[in-house]
């Protein structure tokens, strides 16, 4: 009796030729003898590598390229000493040139739109965002975990990929320089502190927020919106979930500026982490929507009002703006920021519920912008947006798969994708930001 190739176990080393990029910071490889699929980190398409298995599943395995036998011409030496197999999980592409990183990100977006929305786009490019330094020193918000170093000291660190295990670090090269010089990195952490949130706002030095464990498990939805190297979550190797740490004292406010507008928010409130992102996104949203005096604008997942404020300025006192945000603290901040525009208001309500009310009341919206969390808006929200009969919709997406699913739903309801920008707002990682313009089919 013959048996097929053995199912690999964690720690096994396989020699594979690497295929195309996949969403999530992996490339796809297949074992020749049985077609077993491997999702391999720290490699590039076309390379031949020895891959060490890190996780096993029924139809695929995850692995790290621990030895490169034939390298891609786009491979570079990672600038960060904490990057690489078995090291910090925050960066996926430090071993690739910036040009290659952006080429791969564009391919991921193309693949997701083709597979999930039925759209074939040939001219997708991933563009840089002003404000980083050759892909480094851009992250203005980093949450460090705490571990013990070789000397037994409690020190800050960053998590390994898909794990709660923490690697001590003395710098993070994608972090803003103010975070690096905040005094947090390399310094002993007091007992009772399980994490340290460091924020480099639009002006001033970094703000440090010590974190401790909550008395009861909790989830902080907004902190998980964009993810990050210090974020808690499920340990896929151990199958457990830890509660998110909470501030040990009052959280200070920070001020961010976009154009002529200032936004004041909690240091732990959601704001784009790349210093050039908020301005770049706002400029594009306004250019595509081109809001006119007297129009009705809707800002969904509005946060502290980044888009609602300039929309209110554009539609003027004969128009209206409704900013919808489920997080009450963020909605209250949006309401403050809209004080100068009495024709605009913020609603502290889940987006799906707020839209259901508008549709039931027979309301319409001329222009809509939505910036949902990583999971996307979902079918109910997209269908409700279409029911409001907008002339233009801009979807700001931090996950291309979620965007593609929602674009597919929008197409079913008469809204077609007419323009797309892919922006490298998270260099060195697999993340990117997509801005999509949808218009009704005429």
Give the tens place of pLDDT for each residue, 92-148.
999 999 999 999 999 999 999 999 999 999 999 999 999 999 999 999 999 999 999
Q: Are residues 357 and 385 in the same domain?
A: yes
User: Is 325 annotated as ligand-binding?
Assistant: yes
How large is the average pLDDT for residues 148-157? 95
Residue 89 falls inside a structural domain = no
Q: How many C-beta neighbours within 10 Å does residue 77 have?
A: 7
Same domain? 313 vs 357:
yes
Would you say residue 100 lies in a domain?
Answer: no
- Of the residues 206, 235, 250, the one at which a domain ends: 250
Q: Which helix (H) or strand (E) holds 295?
A: none
Q: Does the pLDDT value for residue 14 go beyond 70?
A: yes
Flag whether 197 is marked binding: no
* Range in 6-15, 137-146, 168-177, 378-387 with the lowest mean pLDDT: 6-15
Q: Does one domain contain both 282 and 400?
A: yes
Are 69 and 168 in the same domain? no
Q: Is the pLDDT of residue 418 over 90?
A: yes
230 falls within a domain: yes
The pLDDT assigned to 216 comes to 62
Q: Residue 389: which of 356, 357, 364, 417 has the closest Cα?
A: 364
What does each C-alpha distance from 5 to 32, 60, 80, 369 come to in angstroms? 10, 14, 38, 51
Q: Which of 190, 222, 250 is the last residue of a domain?
A: 250
- Same domain flag for 228 and 269: no
Does residue 244 contact residue 230 with C-beta atoms inside 8 Å? Answer: no
Strand partners, 263: 256
Q: Is residue 134 part of a domain?
A: no
Measure the CA angle with vertex 329, ends 328 and 333; round to 5°. 115
In this prediction, residue 10 has a pLDDT band, given cuts at 50, 70 and 90, of very high
The active-site residue out of 88, 91, 398, 434 is 398
Q: Tell me whether residue 3 is in a domain.
A: no
398 is known as an active-site residue = yes
Asked if residue 110 is part of any domain, the answer here is no
Residues 340, 256, 274: CA angle, nearest 5 degrees: 135
Residue 213 and residue 294 share a domain? no
pLDDT at 33: 84
Provide the domain count of the chain.
3
Question: Across the chain, what does the average pLDDT equal?
Answer: 93
Tokens representing 63? 């692995």
- What's the pLDDT tens digit per position in 33-61? 888 899 999 999 999 999 999 999 877 89
367 shares its domain with 422: yes
Whether 183 and 269 map to the same domain: the answer is no
| Token pair belonging to 193 | 């502190």
Question: Is 272 annotated as belonging to a binding site?
Answer: yes
**Is residue 49 in some structural domain?**
yes
pLDDT (average), residues 249-255: 96
pLDDT, one tens digit per residue, over 63-89 is 999 999 999 999 999 999 999 999 999
Same domain, 405 and 259: yes
- Domain shared by 222 and 297, yes or no: no
Choose among 206, 199, 337: nearest CA to 270. Answer: 199
Q: Is residue 86 part of a domain?
A: no
CATH code: domain of residue 291:
3.40.50.150
pLDDT of residue 32: 82
301 is in an annotated binding site: yes
Q: Are residues 216 and 258 in the same domain?
A: no
Helix (H) or strand (E) holding 208: strand 207-212
The answer to whether residues 290 and 231 belong to one domain is no
Confidence class for position 240, pLDDT limits 50, 70, 90:
low
Residue 237 has pLDDT above 50, yes or no: no
Last residue within a domain, chosen from 250, 276, 306:
250
Q: Which domain holds residue 212?
A: 139-250
């Amino acid at each position: 009796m013959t048996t097929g190739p053995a199912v690999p176990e964690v720690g096994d080393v396989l020699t594979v030729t690497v295929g195309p990029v996949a969403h999530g910071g992996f490339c796809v490889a297949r074992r020749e003898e049985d077609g077993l699929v491997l999702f391999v980190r720290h490699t590039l398409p076309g390379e031949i590598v020895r891959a060490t298995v890190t996780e096993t599943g029924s139809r695929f395995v995850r692995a790290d390229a621990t030895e490169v036998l034939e390298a891609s011409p786009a491979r570079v030496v990672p600038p960060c000493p904490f990057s690489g197999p078995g090291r910090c999980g925050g960066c996926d592409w430090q071993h690739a040139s910036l040009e290659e990183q952006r080429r791969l990100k564009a391919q991921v977006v193309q693949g997701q739109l083709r597979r999930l929305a039925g759209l074939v786009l040939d001219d997708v490019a991933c563009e840089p965002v002003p404000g980083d330094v050759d892909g480094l020193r851009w992250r203005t918000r980093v949450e460090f975990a705490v571990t013990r170093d070789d000397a037994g000291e409690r020190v800050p660190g960053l998590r390994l990929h898909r794990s709660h295990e923490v690697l001590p670090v003395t710098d993070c090269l994608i972090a803003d320089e103010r975070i690096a010089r905040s005094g947090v990195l390399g310094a002993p952490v007091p007992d009772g502190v399980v994490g340290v949130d460091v924020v480099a706002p639009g002006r001033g030095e970094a703000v440090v927020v010590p974190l401790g464990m909550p008395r009861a498990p909790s989830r902080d939805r907004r902190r998980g919106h964009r993810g990050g190297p210090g974020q808690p979550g499920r340990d896929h190797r151990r199958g457990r979930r830890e509660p998110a740490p909470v501030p040990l004292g009052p959280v200070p406010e920070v001020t961010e500026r976009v154009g002529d507008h200032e936004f004041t928010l909690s240091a732990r409130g959601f704001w784009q982490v790349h210093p050039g992102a908020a301005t770049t996104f706002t400029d594009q949203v306004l250019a595509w929507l081109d809001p006119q005096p007297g129009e009705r604008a809707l800002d969904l997942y509005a946060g502290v009002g980044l888009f609602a404020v300039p929309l209110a300025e554009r539609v003027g006192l004969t128009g209206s703006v409704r900013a919808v945000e489920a997080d009450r603290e963020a909605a209250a901040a949006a309401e403050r920021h809209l004080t100068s525009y009495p024709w605009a208001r913020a609603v502290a309500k889940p987006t799906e519920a707020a839209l259901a009310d508008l549709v039931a009341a027979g309301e319409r919206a001329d222009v809509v912008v939505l910036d949902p969390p990583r999971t996307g808006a979902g079918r109910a929200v997209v269908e409700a947006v279409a029911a409001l009969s907008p002339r233009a919709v801009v979807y700001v997406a931090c996950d291309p798969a979620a965007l593609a699913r929602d674009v597919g739903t929008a197409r079913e309801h008469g809204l077609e994708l007419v323009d797309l920008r892919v922006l490298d707002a998270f260099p060195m990682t697999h993340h990117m930001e997509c801005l999509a313009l949808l218009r009704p089919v005429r």
